[in-house]
């Protein structure tokens, strides 16, 4: 096992971490503005993955355009689903007791997960990689799976895009202003409810995009929503709730950590996120990039 093998592990871990980042940043963003932890975020990711699967069966296989179309349509569909959830449900619970907020999103998780089971059933599925991304790329003397490299390109693009949106546009200013003083943003003539709805939809869009990317990276089944939401929780505990930079760091730590530990101790790998979380809780309970509350 030479360096090639370790590089392979690294690429694998990083690409898993990138998908995790895309999903977790959505969770963190929604929390930052709406102050609601959405337990159903993982379910939205799972819906994205299954939608990608269903849609892919209708499109010509192997074509890169089919896959790009999936990446375009599926996140949009999930964002629209988010719109359908935000207006009648989430809007009613902003600013209410944490307990009720958590129970509401938990109820959604149950409904969405079970709806997935009814629609797609318990089979293990995946989306075939388009021909262009199916093979491997020669990198010096090594061959790396093209699709993983593709994710390693998409992930940072999303990170930069998010950063640009949040820090370089008026919409981003509004979103970040709403984090600290939503009522003041309203008093300045901005329809804050709309900012919140848009932020929620963006969070859902990210969950959906993560789902599409995962559907061709690994197998998908009914457990992936729960698995991902728990990974997301580990990410936000490690990185700090509401911090996008923290989400990126946390995701990469988890992705790479799991990939490398899987090798000597395949069973222990599932424990790694918890271990990392416990460690952070002991040394820095509010996360690496977060701020202590009260």
Where along the sequence are the contacts to another protein (CB under 8 A)?
31, 37, 39, 89, 92-93, 98-100, 102-104, 106-111, 113-115, 118, 170, 173-174, 176-177, 179-181, 183-192, 226, 230, 233-234, 236-237, 241, 267, 270-271, 273-274, 277-278, 281, 285-286, 293
Instruction: Say how far apart CA 171 and CA 195 lie, in whole Å.
Output: 8
**Which is closer to another protein, CB of 90 or CB of 150?**
90
Longest dimension (CA), the chain: 63
Of the candidates 158, 156, 190, 193, the one whose C-alpha atom is nearest the C-alpha of residue 174 is: 190
User: Are residues 148 and 11 in contact, defined by beta-carbon separation less than 8 angstroms?
Assistant: yes
Tell me how far, at minimum, the Cβ of 68 lies from another protein, in Å: 34
Q: What is the sign, positive or negative, of the torsion defined by CA atoms of 119, 75, 111, 84?
A: negative
- Measured from the CB atom, the residue of 105 and 148 that comes closer to another protein is 105
Distance in Å, CB of 205 to another protein, minimum? 22
CB 14 within 8 A of CB 255: yes
Residues 73 and 140: beta-carbon distance below 8 Å? no
Distance CA 188, CA 182 (A): 10
Q: How far is the CB of 106 from another protein (least distance, A)?
A: 7
CB 264 to another protein: min, Å: 16
Looking at the DSSP assignment, which residues form a beta bridge with residue 82? none
Least gap, CB of 7 to another protein (angstroms):
28
Our CB check for another protein shows the closer of 16 and 56 to be 16
* CB of 70 or CB of 237, closer to another protein: 237
Residue closer to another protein (CB basis): 8 or 31: 31
Helix H or strand E segment including 36: none
């Amino acid at each position: 096992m030479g360096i090639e093998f370790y590089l392979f592990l690294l690429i694998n871990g990083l690409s898993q971490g990138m998908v995790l980042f895309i999903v977790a940043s959505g969770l963190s963003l929604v929390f930052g503005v709406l102050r609601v932890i959405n337990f159903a975020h993982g379910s939205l990711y799972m819906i994205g993955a299954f939608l990608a699967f269903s849609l892919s069966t209708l499109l010509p296989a192997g074509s890169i355009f089919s896959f790009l179309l999936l990446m375009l349509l599926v996140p949009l569909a999930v964002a629209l689903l988010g719109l359908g959830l935000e207006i009648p449900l989430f809007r009613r619970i902003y600013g209410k007791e944490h307990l009720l907020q958590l129970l509401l999103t938990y109820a959604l998780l149950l409904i969405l997960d079970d709806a997935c089971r009814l629609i797609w059933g318990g089979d293990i599925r995946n989306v075939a990689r388009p021909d262009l991304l199916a093979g491997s790329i020669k990198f010096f003397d090594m061959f790396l799976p093209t699709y993983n490299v593709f994710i390693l390109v998409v992930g940072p693009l999303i990170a930069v895009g998010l950063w640009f949106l949040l820090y370089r546009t008026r919409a981003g200013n509004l979103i970040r202003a709403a984090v600290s003083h939503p009522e003041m943003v309203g008093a300045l003539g901005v329809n804050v409810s709309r900012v919140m709805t848009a932020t929620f939809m963006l969070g859902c869009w990210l969950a959906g995009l993560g789902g599409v990317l995962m559907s061709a990276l690994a197998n998908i089944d009914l457990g992936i929503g729960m698995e991902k939401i728990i990974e997301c929780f580990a990410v936000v505990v490690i990185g700090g709730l509401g911090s996008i930079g923290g989400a990126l760091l946390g995701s990469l730590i988890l992705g790479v950590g799991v990939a490398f530990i899987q090798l000597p101790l395949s069973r222990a790998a599932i424990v790694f996120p918890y271990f990392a979380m416990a460690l952070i809780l002991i040394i820095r309970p509010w996360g690496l990039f977060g701020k202590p509350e009260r």
